[in-house]
Chains A and B, each alone.
Chain A
Amino acid sequence: MTAVSLQQISNFVLKEISLDIAPGELLVLIGPSGAGKTTLLNVLAGLVPYQGRVTFGGRSADRLPPHKRRVGYVFQDLLLFPHLTVEKNLLLAMRCLDLTRGEKQARAEEILDLFRIRGLSDRLPEALSGGEKQRAALARAVAGRPKILLLDEPFASLDFRTARYLRQEFKRLQKRLALSTLFVTHNLREARELGDRIAVFHKGRLEQTARPDEIWFTPGEESEFLEKPNLLPCRNQVSLENGLVQVQWAGFNILVPDEDRTFTHLAILPREIYISPLPPPGPPTNRFVGTVKEIREKEGAVQVSVQVGTEILFVEISPDHLSAMRLAEGDRVHGILKLRALRGCRIAAEADDVR
C-alpha cells in the first residue's frame, strides 16, 4: 500500500492542486467535463508536463518517466492491445516485474481468476463484450503491481445495470487488493457508491474534498453540477429531549437530528424521500401529502416533482418502483422524509431560489 501525495500541481489545465491519497484509499474525482480530472491522472502517470511535486510513498516521482512510475492506468477507451490475447495483455504488463516466466504465468492466472475472466484468457479484445473488456483492462492495470491505480471513467460506456454490477465488484476487489486508487467519473451515483472520499473538480481547481455523505450538504457555487439536495425553508425550531429537533415545513411537523445550532432550511437528497399513492404503514413521523406535478426519467432513475403546499419537492425513485406504483402526473401521493437523511443548514436569504 502506497500513500500518494500531490503538492501545488499546475499545468495547462490544473491550478495549484494539492491532494493526498491515503494508502488503500479509493478517492473519486468528480466534476464536469473539462474540469481537469483526466489531466490529473495523466500528471500522476507522467504523461503530461506539470509544475509541482508528486510523491509515491514519500519518494519524489517528478523525474520518473511514465514507464518507471508503476501506475496502473485504466483509460476511458481501455486501450487493450488488439493484437494480443487477454492473457498476453496481462503478461506484457508484467514484463517489469522481477519474476520467472512460470511465476508470471501463475500470477496472470491468479489475476484472471480474481476478475473472473479465466475463461476468456485466449480471446482477442475484439471478441469480448463491453463488460468483459472492462474486467480485462482492470486486470491488466493491476497485473504489474502498481503503486496506484488510476481509472478514467471505466464504466461510462456500459449500460446502467452492467455498470452497477461492475462497480460493486470493483469496490470489493479494490479493498481486497488494498490499492490506493483515483477514480474519475462524472456520474454522481458512481461517486457515492464507490468513494471513500470524493474530490470535486471545477475549471482546473480542486473545490472540495469530503466523505460521500458530507459533500452534498455544502450548498455553494462549487457544487452546482452535483445532485442538489432539496432545500426546504423551515421555521419554529423546537429542541426535543430525545436528541431531535422539530421544525415546521409546508404546514407539516418534521423531526430532524439535533446538531446544536439553529437553521433556516432542511436539506434532503431526492433519493432519501419515500413516496407512495397509499398512506404507508409505520409511525406517523415526517409525513407529508402532495400532488405529482411532473415525472421525468434520467440516467436510469426517475425524478418526480411533488407539489407540497406551495413548495416543490424533488423525489428520485427507480423505474421499477415507478411502474409498480403506476404513478401519473396529477396523482395524490403520501410521502416520508427519512429522518436519518435530513440535515439542517443555514442559507442566506438570496440563496432561497437555489433550485
Chain B
Amino acid sequence: MPMGRFFILPLLLIILFIVGVLAALIFQVSPAEIYQAVSSPETLFALRLSLITSLLAVSVCIIIGVPAAYLLARRDFFGKAAVDVLLDLPLVMTPLVAGVGLLFLFGQKWLGGTLAELGLHLIFTPWGAVAAQTFIAAPILIRSSRTAFEAVNPRYELAGQTLGLSPFQVFFTVTLPLARHGLLSGTILAWARALGEFGATLMVAGATRFKTATLPISVYLNISSGELGLALACSWLLLFTGFLLLLTVKWIGRSRNPRAPIGGI
C-alpha cells in the first residue's frame, strides 16, 4: 500500500506523544525518591482507599448493571431507545458536572437525610467516592455486558429450560458462563475507570488527606502543594494498575479468539 508511507507519520507522532508523557512521568525524579514516596503513609493510604472504593463501586455496578444489561439485551419495551441514551449519558458527561449533580442530589434533605438516618453519609466521606465512581463506571459495564448477552444465542436458554432448569438456574449455569468473556472485560474496564475517577469524586467526597484522598485526588493535592515526589508516586501506581488491567483485558480478548492478533477485545 503506497499510501502507508504517508500515514506512518501521524502514527509515529501519536506514539511519540504517549511515550513522551510516560517518560516525563518516569524521569522527573530519581528512583530513590519515588521509592520513598511510594512507601509513604499518605501514598499507601490513597492506594488502599482507591482499591477499596473502586472495588466496592465495581461490585455495585455488577449487582445492578448485569441484570439491567440482560434485560436490555433480551427484551424490547416502550422507551428502550430513550433508556439507551440515558444510560450512555454518564459516558459523555463531564465528570465534574456529574459530581455537582451527585452533590446536589445527595445534599437534598429527603435523600441525603434519609440515607444519613440509615447510617450512610455520602457527602465528603469515602462512601461519596464509591457513589461517584459507581455513577461514572456503571455505563461502561452495562454496555459491554449487554453486548456479551446479545452474543449468546437465546435458544441455549430455551434448551436449558427444557432440560428442567428454572429461568434463574439457566441464567447462572448457561447464560452467564457463555457471556463470561464480555462480562469480565466490561468489569475490568469499569474498574479501571473507577480507579482513575477524579472529577466526580472530588465534588462528592472532597479532597481531604487521610480521609477521602484516593490516588487521583492525592496526585491533585500533592501537585497543588508542590510535593512532586508524592504526586508522581501516586501517578505511577495509577499508571501501573491501569497498565495491568489493560493487559488483562487484551489477554481475555485473545483467549476468546486465539487466532486474533493482540488488540481486539
Contacts and interface: CB of A to CB of B under 8 A. Distances in A.
A92 B165 contact: yes
Nearest to B174: A81
A95 B165 contact: yes
B169 interface: yes
Contacts of A79: 153, 155-156, 158-159
Contact of B166 (A67, A73, A82, A93): A67
Please report whether the interface of chain B is mostly helix, strand, loop or mixed according to DSSP.
Answer: helix
Interface in A75-125: 75, 77, 79, 81-83, 92-93, 95-96
Contacts of A82: 178
Interface string B148-182: 00000101101111111111011001100110100
A66 interface: yes
B34 to A, nearest CB: 44
Given A81-B174, A83-B178, A67 B164 contact: yes
A45 interface: yes
Contacts of A68: 164
Most chain B Cβ neighbours within 10 Å, of A65, A77, A79, A82: A79
Contacts of B177: 83
> What size tier do the contact residues of chain A reach?
20 to 34
Interface string A32-72: 00000000000001010000000000000000011111111
A270 interface: no
B163 A93 contact: yes
A47 B162 contact: yes
Most chain A Cβ neighbours within 10 Å, of B158, B161, B177, B178: B161
A72 B177 CA distance: 23
B174 to A, nearest CB: 6
Contacts of A24: none
Nearest to A45: B162
Contacts of B178: 81-83
Nearest to A143: B163
Nearest to A89: B163
A66 B173 contact: no
A92 B156 CA distance: 13
A83 B156 CA distance: 11
B233 to A, nearest CB: 42
A144 interface: yes
Contacts of A71: 162
Contacts of B174: 81
A140 interface: yes
> What size tier do the contact residues of chain B reach?
20 to 34
Given A81-B174, A82-B178, A96-B164, A73 B159 contact: yes
Nearest to B177: A83
A67 B155 CA distance: 14
Contact of B155 (A65, A75, A92, A144): A75
A71 B155 CA distance: 16
Contacts of B167: 67
Contacts of A93: 163-164
A95 B153 CA distance: 22
B162 A66 contact: yes
A77 B165 CA distance: 19
Contacts of A96: 163-165
Nearest to A97: B164
B158 A92 contact: no
Contact of B161 (A66, A72, A77, A83): A66
Contacts of A81: 156, 159-160, 174, 178
A72 B162 CA distance: 7
A132 B164 CA distance: 23
B161 A92 contact: no
A92 to B, nearest CB: 6
A99 to B, nearest CB: 13
Contacts of A95: 163-165, 169
Contact of B164 (A75, A83, A144): A144
A148 to B, nearest CB: 11
A245 B173 CA distance: 66
Contacts of B160: 81, 92
B147 to A, nearest CB: 18
A72 to B, nearest CB: 8
Contacts of A67: 161-167, 169-170
Contacts of B180: 83
A82 B178 CA distance: 8
Contacts of B153: 79
A92 B163 contact: yes
Contacts of A47: 158, 161-162
A66 B158 contact: yes
Contacts of B169: 67, 95
A66 to B, nearest CB: 4
A70 B174 CA distance: 18
Contacts of B162: 45, 47, 66-67, 69, 71-73
Contact of A65 (B159, B161, B163, B173): B161
23 contacts: A47-B158, A47-B161, A47-B162, A66-B158, A67-B162, A70-B164, A71-B162, A73-B159, A75-B159, A79-B153, A79-B155, A79-B158, A81-B156, A83-B180, A92-B160, A92-B173, A95-B164, A95-B169, A96-B163, A96-B165, A143-B163, A144-B163, A144-B164
Top 3 closest A-B pairs, CB basis?
Answer: A96-B164, A79-B159, A66-B161
